[in-house]
Structure 1
Amino acid sequence: MMQPANRLQETKEYYFSRKLKEVRALIADGHPVINMGIGSPDMPAPPAAVAAMLKGLHDSVAHQYQSYTGIPELRGAMADFYKKQYGVIANPDTEILPLMGSKEGIMHISMAFLNPGDKVLFPNPGYPSYAAVTRLVEAEAITYDLNEENGWLPDLKALAAQDLSGVKLMWVNYPHMPTGTKVPDGFFEELIAFAKAQHILVISDNPYSFVLNDNPQSLLAVPGASEVALELNSLSKTFNMSGWRVGMVLGSAENIGHVLRVKSNMDSGMFYGIQKGAVAALGLGDDWFEHINTIYGRRRKLVYELVERLGCTYDRDAVGLFVWAKLPEGIDAEAFIDNILLEKFIFITPGTIFGTMGKGYIRFSLCVKEEEIKEAISRF
């Protein structure tokens, strides 16, 4: 047999890829599984985006290869969106790069900046792909622990006191997934000062700004941030367009140029119709956010009821697409969710898949219809 590359020795199949096979098998056997584990929006994309995509199919260039940097209209819409929503001014020609989903950006950025042996800081708990991609490019993944006592924020003073030689990148994600932590006043300023002092490029992953959050923020709004930071964003959660695969990365022209050198060798541009739909979505007014948040708010209230029925505690100030709940003392999260899946046919995510600091926690997705959440409650 052909042996795989050494880099795969430390890379496991993504947890949800494995677990959803089990969920599908239960469904195939006739069990009524309620999936509360995945953050894939179940509501439709904006009608204006769908209409613009369909109209775009009739343009003469619709079915040709597209520019690696996207159509000018899309980059302009992204620049306008950042100016309106975050107060960030970015040059659409040099400081914004459309992506086929921000997950692609994690790989492109890592390939653009990391050499084998370079070190990368990533949060624990945090999105598993940060560490997985770091290892795939043969860099060294180093966790920085987050905990409830410190508000799920990194202790920057403690980090600065460590030996950070060789650290090149640092991943941050606020509003934080999985905990839903918001950015407190002054934290982004402290983070940029830390990055400049330590000569580290900070990558802000920012896809949850507008879900049940009344104060969207961007790291790039801090003066001088683009010197030491890049920011990823996505239309997946904001506009219910996860399957469309539309994201973006913003930063200095120099850093965006490095990422483009990788991207231009990895794909042949985003489908034209999807770009036209994304332009329409980015131009929507605040009534769109009010619409989806009204629905998510009702769902979250029901999930709170379910969480309480399970004897868990949670933070009502958290935002985003999930509810992060603490199990009663002494209960193992993975055993707990496995029992619920097999006995109640409800899939919940164990906190441990996000890192060791997720021990004792579970995560509920709000991408579940109200009647399904009510049914889940009734099963207890």
Structure 2
Amino acid sequence: MIKPAKRLETVQEYYFSKKLREVRGLVAAGKPIINMGIGSPDLQPPVQVLEAIQGSLNDVSAHKYQSYQGLPELRNAIAEFYKNKFSVAVNPENEVLPLMGSKEGIMHISMAFLNEGDKVLIPNPGYPTYTSVTKLVGAEPLFYNLCDENNWQPNFEELESQDLTEVKIMWVNYPHMPTGTNATIETFEKLVAFGKKHQILIINDNPYSFILNDNPISILEVEGAKDIALELNSLSKTFNMAGWRVGMVLGNVTFINEILKVKSNMDSGMFYGIQKGAIEALQLSDDWFLAQNRIYEERRNLVWQLADKLNATYDTNSTGLFVWAKIPEGQKSTVVTDAILYDKDIFITPGTVFGSQGEGYIRFSLCVTSEIIKEAIARI
């Protein structure tokens, strides 16, 4: 019998991989399931993007292997996007690395910088992939708690009280998933100072900046951030291109070159047409964001009504693609969401998927139409 690698003993199948299989089984059995659990945009990419990929297919280089660093025009478009949206200057030649989705970047960064036994600071609640990738490369997760009382920002006193000698990386994610809380420049300044003090690489995972958010910011706006910080970003949520798998990592040339050593051994470049579509997306005017946010605002208002029906409370200042809601005291997240799934045929994510600090919370996705959300309200 061929035994799997020991590293697989440290991780489980991704929650949504398992749960969506169960949901598909319920649908196959005739259940009219409303899926409000996963953040896969249901809206279409910009028309200009679709036209760009279609128009690129007859280009001479369209079907060849592509550069591991992406087209120069794509790196330029990413650099211009960061300059225009965040007032951040990066050199497109060596401080920008396109990725096949930012999830790929989490693995590449971890492989580039972590040795077996290194420790990694991971937010609780937070994106589960930070933990699973850390374990897969043989490093040790060290969770730092985020809480409502501190507006889901890092508690630096608690961080400083820990033994940080073996910590190599700290993952942060603002606007925060799952809570929708935005960071502040003050938080980013403290993170950069903290990273420099302890020689910890700070990585901000930033795919939600332009969804229902009037103040998009980047950790790279902080003076000296490039010395110790990287930022991941993605076109998946902002431009409804989740299945295209287009992301990026930005930082100083030394960090980027180390990540490239991993990436160049893992793939053979992003498909040419997808890069052409991404270039077009990054050059869109603010009218695109305004139009998307009008749709998401209508949906969010309805989800708030749905949360009210469940006696759940929420922060009306939150941003991003989800609504994070606190259920009545004493109730368990998975008990509540399973009851809603089996009794009302509505799939909502329990907060515990994102860590122990998610107990007592549930998460709704805005990736369903207003009509479907109204149907969910009626069912409750």
Report the TM-score range of the alignment, normalised by the length of the smaller protein.
over 0.9
Residue 194 of structure 1 aligns to a residue in which SS? helix
Contact persistence 1:160–1:198 (CA under 8 A)? no
Distance 2:241 2:84 in 1: 20
**CA shift for structure 1 position 182:** 1.0
TM superposition outliers: structure 1 runs of 4+ over 6 Å: none
Q: Would the aligned equivalents of 1:179 and 1:324 in 2 still touch at CA under 8 Å?
A: yes
Secondary structure of 1:186 counterpart: helix
Aligned to 1:160: 160
Work out the CA distance in 1 between the residues paired with 2:320 and 2:189.
22
Q: 1:29: Cα distance to partner?
A: 1.0
Give the aligned partner of residue 59 of structure 2.
59
Q: In 2, Cα distance between the equivalents of 1:162 and 1:332? A: 30
3-state DSSP class of the match of 2:40?
coil
The answer to whether the aligner puts 1:118 opposite 2:123 as a matched pair is: no
- 1:87 corresponds to which residue? 87
Q: Which amino acid aligns with 1:135?
A: K
Residue pair 2:185, 2:219 contacting (<8 A) in 1 also: no
Matched to 1:297, the amino acid is: E
What is the rounded CA distance, in whole Å, between the counterparts of 1:157 and 1:193 in structure 2?
Answer: 13
Q: CA shift at 1:303, angstroms?
A: 0.2
3-state SS of 2:51 partner: helix
Distance 1:321 1:54, change over 3 A: same
1:97 aligns with 2:65: no
1:193 aligns with 2:183: no
Question: Structure 1 stretch 127-136 or stretch 183-192: which is displaced more?
Answer: 183-192
Matches within 5 A, 1:159-238: 159-238=159-238
Q: What residue in structure 2 maps to residue 342 of structure 1?
A: 342
Shift of 1:185: 4.1
**Of 176-185 and 98-107, the range deviating more from structure 2:** 176-185
Trace 1:225-304 onto structure 2 (pairs within 5 A).
225-304=225-304
What SS does the aligned partner of 2:70 have? coil
Letter in 1 for 2:360: G
Amino acid at match of 1:317: N
Deviations, residues 69-122 of structure 1 (Å, cap 9, x unaligned): 001000000000000000000000100000000000000000000000000000
Runs (5+) with no aligned partner, structure 1 = none
Structure 1 distance, partners of 2:79, 2:375, is 43
Report deviation, 1:157: 2.3
Deviations 1:147-195 (CA, angstroms, capped at 9, x unpaired): 1111111111221122101000000000000000111341111111111
Number of the residue aligned with 2:38: 38
Shift of 1:140: 0.5
2-side partners of 1:24 and 1:334: how far apart?
19
Query: Unaligned regions of 5+ residues in structure 2, if any?
Result: none
Count of aligned positions = 380
Determine the C-alpha separation between the residues in 2 that align with 1:192 and 1:239.
Answer: 29
Aligned-partner residue type, residue 71 of structure 2: I
**Which residue does 2:305 correspond to in 1?**
305
Which residue of 2 is the match for residue 3 of structure 1? 3
Q: 2:275 is aligned with what amino acid?
A: Q
2: CA distance, partners of 1:114 / 1:66: 28
Partner Cα separation in structure 2 for residue 115 and residue 173 of structure 1: 23
- Which segment drifts farther, 286-295 or 328-337? 328-337
SS at match of 1:21: helix
Shift of 1:339: 1.1
Instruction: Report the counterpart of residue 50 of structure 2 in structure 1.
Output: 50
Identity %: 63
Write the deviation string for residues 315-359 of structure 1: whole angstroms up to 9, x where unpaired: 001110000000001111101111111110000000001000000
Does residue 72 of the first structure (1) align with residue 72 of the second (2)?
Answer: yes
What is residue 144 of structure 1 aligned with on the other side? 144
CA offsets 1:17-61 (integer angstroms, 9 cap, x no match): 000001101111111100000000000001001100011111011
> Which amino acid letter does the alignment assign opposite residue 103 of structure 2?
K
Is the 2:312–2:326 Cα contact (8 Å) retained in structure 1?
yes
Question: TM-score, length-normalised on structure 1?
Answer: 0.99
SS in structure 1 at match of 2:329: coil
One-letter amino acid of the structure 1 residue matched with residue 150 of structure 2: N
Distance 1:70 1:10 in 2: 33
CA RMSD of aligned residues (A): 0.6
Instruction: Check whether the contact 1:349–1:362 (CA below 8 A) recurs between aligned residues.
Output: yes
Aligned pairs (5 A) from 1:119-134: 119-134=119-134
Task: Provide the TM-score with structure 2 as the length reference.
Answer: 0.99
Q: CA deviation at 1:209?
A: 0.1
Query: 1:31 & 1:276 partners in 2: Cα distance?
Result: 41
Query: Are the counterparts in 2 of residues 192 and 228 from structure 1 also a CA contact under 8 Å?
Result: yes
